[in-house]
Amino acid sequence: MSPTVADEADLLWRWTETVTRAAGGSPAADEVVVAVGRDLLARYAEPTRRYHDLRHLTEVLDRIDHLAEFARQADAVRLAGWFHDAIYDPHRSDNEEASAQLATRALARCGVDGATSAEVSRLVLLTAGHAPAADDPNGAVLCDADLAVLSTAPERYAVYVSDVRAEYAHVPDEAFREGRAAILSDLAARDRLFGTEYGRAYWEKRARHNLAAELILLTRPQDLADLPDE
């Protein structure tokens, strides 16, 4: 069963609470903050989205809350979670840059100070490669929250893989397999997938198993039966 997506009212409440804290208790007028929040929800609800949708947004926000103790600026990370896929078009290669620019404009409207806005923008840009520096706890929390889907149970992981393929339906099968395999191979070759202690302790093993299984399906489907059990 797919995870339940929090209803719009709950997500808007989470958005306004985060903005209020990030703005030091003095955000812009309520109607402005709510309007920005509704715009973000509408973006994640675009009909072309199959994976990078409201369910994904909700899951990322929930994981950021779970990992908040590892961040230096938890609310900046939460705001980055809201904006990290705010612009998502599988036909373009600058989604992170466009989303970061949108964050800068939208947070200024909401009364969030420039330093926090700059940190949010920086964090959004990190999700292009999911490789924060070792001394970047904010980046580690956001990237771990975004990559945690790699560590989900096989049924959820299969839905994730299917949804990603659906978003790239315009890409021919062979080209998609090559591109997807290159991304997964880069991740699998890293010394660690997750930057927080929690991610390394609880998500790393399952994520590597899922990556290995998908890579076999993409590159050597005849060898799937040889994949070792966990």
DSSP label of 4: P
Tell the residue number behind the tokens 């399906």, with chain if given.
217
End-to-end CA distance of the chain: 23
**Helical pair 8-22 and 54-67, crossing angle rounded to 10 deg:** 50
Cα separation of 201 and 5, whole Å?
A: 27
| Nearest in space to 2 (alpha carbons), one of 219, 163, 110 | 163
Structure tokens at 118: 């700059």
Residues 129-185: tens digit of each pLDDT:
999 999 999 999 999 999 999 999 999 999 999 999 999 999 999 999 999 999 999
Structure tokens at 120: 């949010």
**Do the beta carbons of residue 138 and residue 73 sit within 8 Å?**
yes
Rg of the chain over Cα atoms, rounded to whole angstroms, equals: 18
Given this structure, which CATH class describes domain 8-226? mainly alpha
Domain ranges in the chain?
A: 8-226
Residues 71-102: tens digit of each pLDDT:
999 999 999 999 999 999 999 999 999 999 99
Tell the residue number behind the tokens 């989205």, with chain if given.
49
Global pTM value: 0.92
